[in-house]
Amino acid sequence: MEIHSGEIYGKQTGNKFVMYNVLKVGKNSITLQNIDNPLSLFDTTLTKLQSSGYIRISQTPYINTNSTGKKRKSIRNPTRCPYTLDFLEERADSERPAPIMPDLFT
């Protein structure tokens, strides 16, 4: 399994589905950022990511276009326009991906 920066992975935790953006992929580590809390970063490995139940939600990056009121420059510059529509994933980069929930009751 290959992981690339910009992909989005998710994990079911209790009754909540949390999504993470892949910021950086190194030789031995992967840096993930919580989409809902951009200050929440952590490093993991490919084997830990797979064994912990993370699934790939989207290969298209999520770019939050809502203003936060802060006048700092963005840490990451997008490589494409946030309003680019990806017809394969049926959403623009600025639209949050829909979580893929497993059907537990069928």
pLDDT by 10s per residue, the chain, length 106: 788 888 899 988 888 889 999 999 998 899 999 988 888 899 999 999 889 989 898 887 777 777 666 655 555 566 677 777 877 778 888 888 877 666 555 4
Separation CA 32–CA 38 (nearest Å): 10
- Residue 44's pLDDT is what? 93
Tell me, yes or no, whether 3 lies in a domain: no
- Residue 74's pLDDT is what? 53
Tell me, yes or no, whether 45 lies in a domain: yes
Tell me, yes or no, whether 54 lies in a domain: yes
Domain carrying residue 80: 8-63+73-92
- Residue 41's pLDDT is what? 92
Tell me, yes or no, whether 101 lies in a domain: no
Number of domains in the chain: 1
- Residue 32's pLDDT is what? 93
Q: Is the pTM of this model over 0.75?
A: no
- CA-CA distances (angstroms) from residue 36 to 1, 33, 51, 71, 97? 26, 9, 23, 19, 12
CA atoms within 13 A on the CB side of 100: 10
- Residue 101's pLDDT is what? 64
